[in-house]
A = this chain, B = another copy of it.
Amino acid sequence: MPDDKKAIFANITADDVANEAGVSRWTVNRAFRKEASISPKSLEKVRAAAERLGYVPDLRAASLASDRSNLVALLIDDFANPHKLVMMERLTRILRREGWDILLINTLDRNDAGHALLNASQRRVDAVILIGLQFDDDMLETALHARRFRKLIIFARSSRNPDTISIAVDDVESMNEMAIYVNERGYRRPMFLAGPRTSSAHLLRKETFVEYWRQHFGIEPETVEVSAYDPALASDVVENVLSSRNPAMLPDILVCENDSLAIGATDVIRHKLGLRIPEDIAITGFDDVPQADNPNYSLTTYRQPLTEMVEYLVEVLSNPDQTNLNRLFTGALIARRSA
């Protein structure tokens, strides 16, 4: 069917539709532009003609002419964390609903971040959204220097860089809530399991917990660091630290910086150390990944209000301002059986 093939490959433009509908090209374009003023009659004519011809506006051209691409770049550096999948789902769903397309860029490692931003620049995205951990302040500085985009948004992590917009959960508030919970449930020998401290990029979670404990009990809780947010690594570290210990010296609770670490810790405590959770050692996480609700883990954790956060992100995107749009959110502690 040659006719069909032609229909498939022909490049129908607004001019063709204009001919078909008996109006000018600009009226056609206006029919597809939200804010444009057009009479209901021509709108109808254009719609019908476009339908017949199978016309779809070309956003590349629109973007070129209007200097707004309605495209945002999503830079992600760690696909191993299941929480990323949750965030991506929420982001893609809500952004699409609001008319934003997403350029997904896998930032391989710290050294690659510059190239990733270059990628985004070349597509002239309106904003860059960073989800990840290796984006420390040094990197942000570089990014801002070379940028061809209007906004740099750090999602689900706070940043002190004045030129970025950070949308995140309040680490201090949330971790204090967690510390209070740990205290009230009667735990007295906590150990904090933290992720990597990459230069200036640090989460306030550990500091907050340690500070709470010091204030309330006058002692510094033990802290252990894992070099990546990886369950297997967390397992190794926890095994190293705890396996040789006299049972009396074991912590009664492991407060983890996120669920990935908590899950790794849970596995090793149960299967390698042969201890019960929460009877021998309790565990808490952070993020509320889907697995946390699994009966195997039933992890006490802290849920970020992702939907709210993404909805605010959308607001930020259409806001002409560029600074002072930082916002901290309050989530909810989810108590399960692990602590």
Contacts from A to B (Cβ < 8 Å): 8, 54, 56-61, 63-64, 69, 71, 74, 76, 79-80, 82, 84-86, 88-89, 92-93, 96, 101-106, 108, 118-119, 121-124, 144-148, 231, 267, 271, 290-291, 294-296
Task: Give the nearest-CB partner of A119 in chain B.
Answer: B101
Contact present for B148 and A56 (CB under 8 Å): yes
Contact present for A104 and B104 (CB under 8 Å): yes
Contact present for A60 and B295 (CB under 8 Å): no
Contact present for B122 and A58 (CB under 8 Å): yes
Known: A60-B124, A80-B290. 9 other contacts (CB 8 A): A54-B146, A58-B122, A58-B124, A59-B123, A60-B63, A80-B89, A89-B106, A102-B104, A231-B294
Q: Which residues of B contact A144 (CB under 8 A)?
A: 8
Contact present for B122 and A59 (CB under 8 Å): yes
Complex: A122 Cα to B119 Cα, angstroms: 20
Task: Give the nearest-CB partner of A263 in chain B.
Answer: B294
Q: Which residues of B contact A84 (CB under 8 A)?
A: 85
Q: Which residues of B contact A102 (CB under 8 A)?
A: 103-105
Contact present for A61 and B64 (CB under 8 Å): yes
- 17 cross-chain CB contacts under 8 A: A8-B145, A8-B147, A58-B124, A59-B123, A60-B124, A61-B64, A79-B89, A80-B89, A82-B85, A88-B104, A89-B106, A93-B106, A102-B103, A102-B104, A104-B104, A231-B294, A296-B296
Q: Which residues of B contact A89 (CB under 8 A)?
A: 79-80, 106
Give the number of copies in the complex: 2
Task: Give the nearest-CB partner of A61 in chain B.
Answer: B64
- Say whether, besides A8-B147, A122-B58, A103 and B104 are in contact (CB < 8 Å): yes
Contact present for B104 and A92 (CB under 8 Å): yes
Task: Give the nearest-CB partner of A89 in chain B.
Answer: B79
Q: Which residues of B contact A147 (CB under 8 A)?
A: 8
Complex: A76 Cα to B213 Cα, angstroms: 44
Contact present for A56 and B104 (CB under 8 Å): no
Complex: A84 Cα to B71 Cα, angstroms: 23
Task: Give the nearest-CB partner of A93 in chain B.
Answer: B106
Q: Which residues of B contact A106 (CB under 8 A)?
A: 89, 92-93, 96
Q: Which residues of B contact A64 (CB under 8 A)?
A: 58, 60-61, 64
Interface centre among A59, A122, A145 (most CB of B within 10 A): A122
A215 CB to nearest B CB, Å: 37
Q: Which residues of B contact A145 (CB under 8 A)?
A: 8
